Amino acid sequence: MSETFVVVGGDAAGMSAASKARREDPDLDVVVFEKGDWVSYAACGMPYYVKGDVDSLDDLVQVTPDEFRTERDIDLRTNHEVVGIDPEARTVTVAADDDRFEQPYDQLLVATGARAIEPPFDGMGLEGVFTIHDMDEADAIHTHVTESHPETAAIVGGGYVGIEMAEALASRGLDVHLFEMLPHVLQPFGESVAEVVEDHLRDRGVELHLDTPVEGFGGEDNVTAVDLESGTVPADIVVVGVGVEPNAELAADAGIEVGETGAIATDEYGRTNYETVFAAGDCAEATNVVTGEPDHVPLALTANRSGRAIGQTVTGTPTPVGGTAGTAIVKAFDLGAARTGILDESRAREAGFDPVSVEITAPTRAHYYPGAEELTVTLVADRDSERVLGASVVGREGVKRIDTVATALHSGLTVPDVEQLDLAYAPPFSPVWDPVATAARVLSGSLERPE
């Protein structure tokens, strides 16, 4: 009799695991329960659907439910919600169509993802107030903009989603106000990146309200204003993007251990405190490659990679899920910003490092080649070990250079190692000294101790 691998959640981690397990072991019964309609979709593309760069929500779907069922032979059941897990009996309780049933498993993956944080603001239930973390929410915003024709938008939160939605709605012709309770947007990217992005947002017509907590939203049935301590700002549509939190309650209720981050605790193979239960994606912790400690960084590649690894592990080839450096990149109109590792010096000190940093600005191409733009690079390292700890970059082109530093973090490279990397050079693509190598060269001087 074949074994059964049950997956709870049908997005990046869940479907990557199911697909890999099916390829590795054609005799394995693979059952996926997804409580909604959508599976295997590109959540990162939703702001661009709202903007109009993506024609249809269906364009964001990588593999359709029918393709999973017919081409990959996966027993995918949409609109089936797992409401309970019994790790001792190795069963899950599933609710669907006003019915409940028990599904046995031999191995289980919890891939329940994360949800948008909904602050306890007055007026969150008003028409025209949205969060954006799933396809239905993206569709609702798109429909509201298209059919209700709002004129003024309020974005609450200056993180990735806030910046991308500010661009999306401004590009649709709305007057956009962005509210951030901290002194700067993109807090994990560092102050120098934030200031460049803020100036660019203002140049593109976005009105920033920094260091400005929101108290709620006004209106009777439809939202009409954002309420602040200092007064109100008119708004016909509000998008709240203040972060996400892991959907870990299902696991916690079953006695599956949840870490200090609030996400499900796992080992290097994605296994929980139960031998036959795994967790991956936005609901699970991962190991930070800089600190070596558990971290919760909900990003698409982390979810896909960990799901694929677990799909191999459950079919007999133990495969580590890999660590996270928190590498991220965001587009703000004509500007790009990216970060990886630890940039905050206080956090670096808490992790036991003695941080040293430099900030340089260098051209993205040879100075004489047309189209060169300035790229600002901040590089952080530990003084004692000279190990690279993190970096940020901001500019109109070349921000994918952050991947060089991410590679250095995963490899444990030092600043001199990065300085000596044999990076590609041709005038249309880079100066002789790539901006990342230039930053490493400058930082090497700062790391030198006097005799």
SS3 for 352-379, per residue? CCCEEEEEEEEECCCCCCCCCCEEEEEE
**pLDDT score recorded for residue 362:** 97
**pLDDT score recorded for residue 449:** 59
Tell me the chain's radius of gyration from C-alpha atoms.
23
**pLDDT score recorded for residue 173:** 97
Active site residue 44: yes
Q: What average pLDDT does the structure give for the chain? A: 96
Alpha helices in 149-280 (DSSP H): 160-171, 191-203, 249-253
For the cut 70, the answer to whether the pLDDT of residue 245 exceeds it is yes
- Give exposure, 28-48, as e/b (b: 16+ Cβ within 10 Å): bbbbbbbbeebbbbbbebbbb
Percentage of the chain modeled with pLDDT above 70: 99
- Hey, what domains does the chain have and what are their CATH numbers? 4-115+245-313 (3.50.50.60), 118-242 (3.50.50.60), 334-447 (3.50.50.60)
Phi/psi at 184 (nearest 5 deg)? -140, 155
For the cut 70, the answer to whether the pLDDT of residue 55 exceeds it is yes
Instruction: Give the containing element (helix H, strand E) for 148.
Output: helix 135-148
Instruction: Give the containing element (helix H, strand E) for 409.
Output: helix 402-411
Residue partners of 334: CB distance under 8 A and separation at least 6: 200, 204, 396
What is d(CA 394, CA 336) in angstroms, rounded to the nearest whole number? 6
What are residue 65's DSSP bridge partners?
none
- Choosing from 4, 24, 44, 191, the catalytic residue is 44
User: Rounded mean pLDDT of 156-179?
Assistant: 97
Query: Band of the pLDDT at 447, cuts 50, 70, 90?
Result: confident
